[in-house]
Amino acid sequence: MCRVIALARSSRRVIWLPVCLGLVMGVGGYSATRGAVAFGDPALYVQCLVYAAVFCLVFPLLFSLQERFKERCVERTGEPGAEPSAGTVETVAETGAETRAVPRRALVRFEHVLHAPNLLRDASRMFVCWVPYVILLYPGILYWDTGDQVAQFFGMAVFGQEPGQIWNHHPFLDTYFYGSVIWLGHAVSGHYEVGVFLLSALHAFLACVAVSALLAYLRGRGLARGPLSGITAAFCFFPVFPIMFASIVKDTTFTIALVAWFVMYLLLVDSQLARIVRPGFLIGFVVLLLLVALTKSVGMYVMVVALLLLVVMREGGMFYVVQTATGFVLLGFFTDLFAPFVAPLAHADLMLPAMWGGIITGIGYGMVLRAGANAGGSDTIGQIISRNTSLPVGSTVMAIDVAVCALSAPVFSVENALYAGLSMVISGYVIDAVVDGGNRRRMVLIISENFPDIAADIMYGLGRGCTKFKATGMYSGAEKPVIMVIVNRRELNTLKTIVRERDPHAIVTVADVTETFGEGFKDINA
């Protein structure tokens, strides 16, 4: 006990961790049992203090075990915290020395390696810790929705549907997965309870595999052994995790698939998308992607956003990804914030909301796109297309959105689709006006015999550089100089005056220029 107290005193710098953990557990436990947090209830603070005190006692014990482990490592290897390598284990096994210690340590120690055999072994170790909860919950926990899905699978009438009809109110994949495992258990044992128990155990084991993959990824990213061991212990022994993942409901099934797929997603990002060319990785990535999309309705939207971010990263790097994610979050926040102000227009003539909605949306998107960011969605695709082609970003976004509105006509109505399309057209033109408004230029070609005087006035009077090149008239065959200059709208009137005064018979051609880069204009990297 004195040793524990000494360690507690020496670890005051980390005392905030058990205290914060105790506060979180106290507030969480209070809200879970009462449905809300009443800050005026003394029981809340008593519960938080009790949890904090327990964790403050437990953490020094963990530190004590860690110190003892280090001392044993020093005695065996001479180095604090050293762990035997693979070669050391083989040597010990060959010589027969300490043959009992090696298997025992290998049995309980998590490997945290992103390789199928290693993950299965780690998952088995974690599942052993979960087994008592899985058994105590026999045959398992089926939520109300899960019961409906199982009933549909076995041909019972649910939701007013005909017997044997499976409704898409719940994902089909979950329904067939739950029903098939329960049917298998019943076919083997003759009891549906055995099938439910088999489903619960399989569900928990798959969760262990997904969590083990996540922990292995953290280890591969450089997370120290100490914190990783603490996280692993929390997953193994904290009752919330086995109880949650042993419960059969589409939310937990979706979570398992999402965690596993998220690990592959992170590996893909770390490799700058290079792993996608590996057939094994690609197959696993696509399979898990489909599982995420098909185990819960919201999974489809998660996949679309995640894949869009991959495209964004490929085109613009991680900073562009951060910009996109930030814009996506802020768009949702401000949409909800200003939604009450739009409510009075809900029952008005749709023409007015369509026009003003297009204008306001175009201004907002234009400002975002002009800053080099985006709000996620069609503007991201339009921005990428515009960067790689000569198409204006507003027109590209407009084309995409109009196509979406057209496809939505069978779902809503042709009238609403037309109003939405009109709004998107207005928005596209406004986006181009905002994005290119300050940068829009005029390219002027001037053919004149008096080109030296005109060029001098342009350079020294107008303050613009110009370019001279030779052109040959196809009819006369004579060579004539052509002056090319880029000006803005205000400078165009001055240029017309210069040409009119120097050569009234000059041929002048004016063309719109969407963007101009280089010296005297916008930076090409902007």
166 and 265 in a single domain? The answer is yes
Position 340 in a domain = yes
**3-state secondary structure (DSSP) of residue 297:** coil
22 and 48 in a single domain? The answer is yes
Highest-scoring range by mean pLDDT, 31-35, 479-483, 487-491: 479-483
Asked which of 237, 267, 296 is the last residue of a domain, the reply is 296
Q: Is residue 146 within a helix (H) or strand (E), and if so which, with residue range?
A: helix 144-153
> How many domains does the chain fold into?
4
Contacts of range 252-256, beta carbons closer than 8 Å, 24 or more positions apart: 252/203, 252/207, 253/174, 253/177, 253/203, 253/295, 253/296, 254/292, 254/295, 254/296, 254/298, 254/299, 255/207, 256/203, 256/206, 256/207, 256/210
Asked which of 406, 436, 466 is the last residue of a domain, the reply is 436
341 and 415 in a single domain? The answer is yes
Q: Bin 329: left if φ > 0, else alpha if -120 < ψ < 50, else beta.
A: alpha
CA distance 404 to 398: 10
Position 308 in a domain = no
Percent pLDDT > 90 in the chain is 5
Position 7 in a domain = yes
**3-state secondary structure (DSSP) of residue 446:** strand
Highest-scoring range by mean pLDDT, 4-8, 247-251, 366-370, 394-398: 247-251
74 and 172 in a single domain? The answer is no
80-90 pLDDT per residue, tens: 444 444 333 33
Asked which of 415, 436, 457 is the last residue of a domain, the reply is 436
Residue 11 has pLDDT above 50, yes or no: no
370 and 501 in a single domain? The answer is no
Backbone angles phi, psi at 248, to 5 degrees: -95, 110
Residue 366 has pLDDT above 60, yes or no: yes
Highest-scoring range by mean pLDDT, 212-221, 263-272, 458-467, 508-517: 212-221
124 and 237 in a single domain? The answer is yes
431 and 447 in a single domain? The answer is no
Position 136 in a domain = yes
Where in the sequence is the domain holding 417, given as residue range(s)? 333-436
**Two structure tokens written together for 446:** 């001037």
CATH of the domain at 471: 3.30.70.120
8 Å CB contact between 203 and 253: yes
Position 178 in a domain = yes
8 Å CB contact between 280 and 231: no
Q: Which of 218-227, 279-288, 308-317 has the lowest mean pLDDT?
A: 308-317
Residues 41-63: what's their mean pLDDT? 77
Question: Could you tell me the pTM of the whole model?
Answer: 0.55
Position 87 in a domain = no
Highest-scoring range by mean pLDDT, 50-64, 206-220, 440-454: 206-220
User: Nearest CA to 306 among 380, 368, 361?
Assistant: 380
Position 102 in a domain = no
User: Nearest CA to 330 among 362, 374, 378?
Assistant: 374
CA distance 136 to 397: 56
pLDDT top residue among 483 and 434: 483
Position 373 in a domain = yes
38 and 116 in a single domain? The answer is no
405 Cβ neighbours under 8 A, 6+ residues apart: 417, 420, 421, 424
106-115 pLDDT per residue, tens: 556 788 888 8
430-462 pLDDT per residue, tens: 877 777 665 567 888 888 888 888 888 888 888
